[in-house]
Structure formats: structure tokens, C-alpha cells
Homo-oligomer: A and B are copies of this chain.
Amino acid sequence: MTERELIAAIRARLAREDRRIELGIGDDAALLAGGSIVSVDALVEGVHFDRRWLTWEDVGFKAYAAALSDLAAMGAAPVAGLSALILPRELEDAAVLAIVDGIAEAADAFDAPIAGGNVSSGGVLSITSTVIGRADRPITRSGARVGDGIYVTGPLGMAALGWRLLARGETKEPFATRWRRPRPRFDLAPQVAAIATSAIDVSDGLLADLDHVCRASGVGAAIDIDEVPVAAHQLELARSIGEDGLELALTGGEDYELAFTSADDDQATKWGARIGTIVERSSASVVDREGRAIDLARRGYEHR
């Protein structure tokens, strides 16, 4: 089974029609009857991070902030969170408390207080964050319509470049901080939610995330690659280490900007840069301006 097939099989086994669940497995977060929005995300050592490239505070901050971003992707504001730590026995107390300090820092930064949690020992360090939020108008992945514009709220590829530089032993700002200290776009989420037909946070990489939106909405996305925003010096810096800064923008992930669709171009361009248009679905869900498939072999790493 491919990873996608396994995930689909898991969903099929767990999905239930239930009046208590308005929107279940498959979007950025679940929507419960009564308006609560809930999501869970795990950060696992050796899979999502390497302790050489982060302080312990960074690890805690990144774990909780990345989880919170799923609320921003739904147009929601945070209410509270739960933090479940699995800690190797050999991890020193000081490291554990530094991780917790990082979680607390993110909780304070994004107004998402920790209401509870769990501590367990285990062979591999992981931080699993449950986030709970509310939205006046929850935005899902499934509302994109042909003709809608496609927008992103900020530069992409910065986190991926920062991570690649860190892995080479180079700490270059603002790229390193972008990867170490994600910032969910709660500052823009309500404005985006007011005018968006669909939204997602760019966590897997722009092409992979737009593919999620296209599949959920039954549409295609035509992207003007030259319009995808990148940071100052991103392309040169990427080139200096043999990377393509634009490819990182398309596939890098972990930027946690919002990608959204809207039929209201005047309003949408206040909050994001227009990078394309929703089109009829063809064999490839994401295509370039000329309608040609973008090489999906290069799309973002699918977290598993």
C-alpha cells in the first residue's frame, strides 16, 4: 500500500456519520457540533527534526505552533491545547523543561493556553499536540470553485531553505528562525475566512497542499509559478548551496502561510499574493499557466 492508500484505508475504518461531528477526518481540523474545531499533530525526533538543529525550546515551540497552524487554516482562533510528551528515559530533566518552556512560549505567543496533557516514557522523543479552537465561519479545503483566484499570505520556501542551511551547519536568518519558530497566521485568519472559499496552511509544500484542496474540492489549480512569493535573497542563497529557491517555494513546506481561494479578488489581494486560478480538474490537479502538469515527482515531502 502507498502512504496515501494506507491513510485512506485508516479513514474508511474510522469514519462514522454522527450528528456530533459536522466535519470529520480529512480536513486541517475537525468541526464538532457546537462549533469547536479540533486537531492533533505530532513532532517526532528523527522524522520531523534533528536535535542538532534546534534548541530544546525550539522543539517545544515548533511542535505546538505547527499544530496550532491547523486552526488558522480553518479560519479559527485558538481556545486551548493539550500536550502529550513521550520522553526517552535518558533525556535530562533540563531538556524536558526547556521543551516545556518552548511550548509555553508558543502558548503565550499565540494565545493558546495549555489545558492539560500527558507525560509518558518511550524510546523516541515525540510531542503530540491537540489544539482546540473556534471559528465564526470555518473554512474547509472543499469549497474552491472554478474561476476563484488562488492566494498565499506570504513568502514560501524560507523554512525549507533555513532547514537545508542548518543541516549544513549554517544558521542564516531569517531563514533558520522561519523553520525553527513557525508562526501560524492567526493575525490574518479571520480576514481570510471572511472572503475565502477554501483554505489550507502550507505545511507539506505548496503543490502538495494545493493538491489536497483540489482533491477535496473536485477542481484543478493553475499556478503562475513566477508569481509565487519568495523572500529577499532566497534565490541567491539557495543557489549558493546548489538548491533551487523557487522549487523550495513550491515543494518545501513548513512555512505555515495560508493558501486560500476566493472569488473576491479585490478583498483577497489585501491579504495574499495572487498566484493562480482554480480551473476544471484535469489529470493533474496542479498545472502551470499554460495548463501543463507541474512535475509532481518534485512535490513536497508527505509527512507520515
Interface of A toward B, CB cutoff 8 Å: 1, 6-7, 9-10, 13-16, 18, 20-21, 24-25, 29-30, 32, 34, 36, 38-42, 44, 46-48, 79-80, 82-84, 86-87, 93, 96-97, 100-101, 103-104, 107-108, 113-124, 126, 128, 130, 132, 303-304
Is there contact, CB below 8 Å, between A122 and B126? Answer: yes
Of all chain B residues, the one with the shortest Cβ separation from A134 is B34
Alpha-carbon distance between A118 and B67 when the two chains are bound, in angstroms: 11
Chain B residues, CB < 8 A from A107:
14, 16
Alpha-carbon distance between A44 and B93 when the two chains are bound, in angstroms: 20
Is there contact, CB below 8 Å, between B44 and A86? Answer: yes
Alpha-carbon distance between A220 and B97 when the two chains are bound, in angstroms: 31
Is there contact, CB below 8 Å, between A1 and B115? Answer: no
Number of copies: 2
Chain B residues, CB < 8 A from A9:
93, 97, 100
Of all chain B residues, the one with the shortest Cβ separation from A20 is B79
Is there contact, CB below 8 Å, between B48 and A120? Answer: yes
Is there contact, CB below 8 Å, between B14 and A121? Answer: no
Most buried by B among A13, A79, A83, A101: A13
Chain B residues, CB < 8 A from A93:
1, 6, 9
Is there contact, CB below 8 Å, between B122 and A128? Answer: no
7 tightest A-B CB contacts, nearest first: A30-B115, A30-B116, A44-B122, A123-B124, A14-B114, A130-B130, A16-B113
Partner of A101 from B13, B36, B100 at Cβ < 8 Å:
B13
A-B contact pairs, 9 of them (CB 8 A): A9-B97, A10-B97, A24-B115, A25-B114, A25-B117, A32-B80, A40-B116, A42-B84, A119-B304
Knowing A9-B97, A30-B82 are in contact, say whether A118-B122 is a contact too (CB < 8 A).
no
Is there contact, CB below 8 Å, between B42 and A128? Answer: yes
Knowing A6-B93, A97-B9 are in contact, say whether A117-B40 is a contact too (CB < 8 A).
yes
